[in-house]
A and B are shown apart, each in its own frame.
Chain A
């Protein structure tokens, strides 16, 4: 109840809070733009040389099964689109946070944090999957 009452009161945004949010937005935008650049480079390489890259990866893998090449291509696309979604969340978060501060609009700030929350949800799902995969490897190998 006390928490609900506190949530209903307005909390002023002081210059330190504004600076902290600007800082978050700056680094988040850097990661997003860097990620988009790397993604663009990968897309360019794959467009010109994708088949030979996948064939080289298939040859380098220790396991040899039928359909491995197709699995690699599908796996690459899945990972690529997940990464694109993550970068999109980061870019939108950065954009909304800065706009919210410039326009003094708390709804835009809320939207910025909502995109950050989506980013952390994807990270937590990925982290849990990797943790479970490593745990299974430890238990069964």
Chain B
């Protein structure tokens, strides 16, 4: 199936079959970007719609104002971080979709490269996030385990 053309910088070229696969991948990535965006909008709407649901801590008996404020601040912070991650992921995937499609359609190598770089950035972002969150979970479990053993 591989077709090697006349010598160029790397010695081979994308054929029509490969370009079709990249285009279809980019199309699905574009859909995922839209889903990320829609989820962000829904999260914002959900936060303001359920603003008064932060009374969970009150129901549990933790009704000091400082704890209430901490709970509210934490939920706002988590919302902002979540939305930022969704928006950045959506940007990378949408950029991959648009630039790859245009790069293939108009044989613009620079746009195509930009699209692929943004796809790489998307996976880099999630690799870093996953590592970070797993480290946090591991340290929390370690701290919980040490706390239990000292009690």
Known A20-B117, A23-B117, A109-B18; contact A134-B13, beta-carbon cutoff 8 A: no
Closest A residue to B131 using CB positions: A34
Check B46–A20 contact: CB distance below 8 A.
Answer: no
| Overall SS of chain A's interface | helix
Check B29–A120 contact: CB distance below 8 A.
Answer: yes
In the complex, what's the smallest C-beta–C-beta distance from B112 to chain A, in angstroms? Answer: 7
Residues of B within 8 A of A121 (CB): 28
Q: How far is the CA of A87 from the CA of B46 in the complex (A)?
A: 31
Q: How far is the CA of A104 from the CA of B130 in the complex (A)?
A: 32
Q: Would you give the 0/1 interface string for A5-21, flagging 1 where the beta carbon is closer than 8 Å to chain B? A: 01111111111111011
Check B39–A106 contact: CB distance below 8 A.
Answer: no
Q: Would you give the 0/1 interface string for A46-77, flagging 1 where the beta carbon is closer than 8 Å to chain B? A: 00000000000000000000000000000000
Check A131–B123 contact: CB distance below 8 A.
Answer: no
Q: How large is the interface on A (under 10, 10 to 19, 20 to 34, 35 or more residues)?
A: 35 or more
In the complex, what's the smallest C-beta–C-beta distance from A122 to chain B, in angstroms? Answer: 10
Asked if A123 is at the interface of the complex by the 8 Å CB criterion, the answer is yes
Q: How far is the CA of A21 from the CA of B124 in the complex (A)?
A: 13
Name B residues whose Cβ lies closer than 8 Å to a Cβ of A. Answer: 1-5, 8-25, 28-29, 31-32, 35-36, 38-39, 42-43, 45-46, 49, 104-107, 109, 112-113, 116-117, 119-120, 123-124, 126-127, 130-131, 134
Closest A residue to B134 using CB positions: A38
Number of A-B contacts (CB under 8 A): 160
Known A7-B19, A13-B12; contact A107-B127, beta-carbon cutoff 8 A: no
Residues of A within 8 A of B21 (CB): 110-111, 113-114, 117
Q: How far is the CA of A60 from the CA of B15 in the complex (A)?
A: 55
Asked if A30 is at the interface of the complex by the 8 Å CB criterion, the answer is yes
Check B130–A34 contact: CB distance below 8 A.
Answer: yes
Asked if A85 is at the interface of the complex by the 8 Å CB criterion, the answer is no
Residues of B within 8 A of A108 (CB): 2
Check A131–B35 contact: CB distance below 8 A.
Answer: yes
Q: How far is the CA of A23 from the CA of B35 in the complex (A)?
A: 25
Check A104–B2 contact: CB distance below 8 A.
Answer: yes
Check B31–A106 contact: CB distance below 8 A.
Answer: no
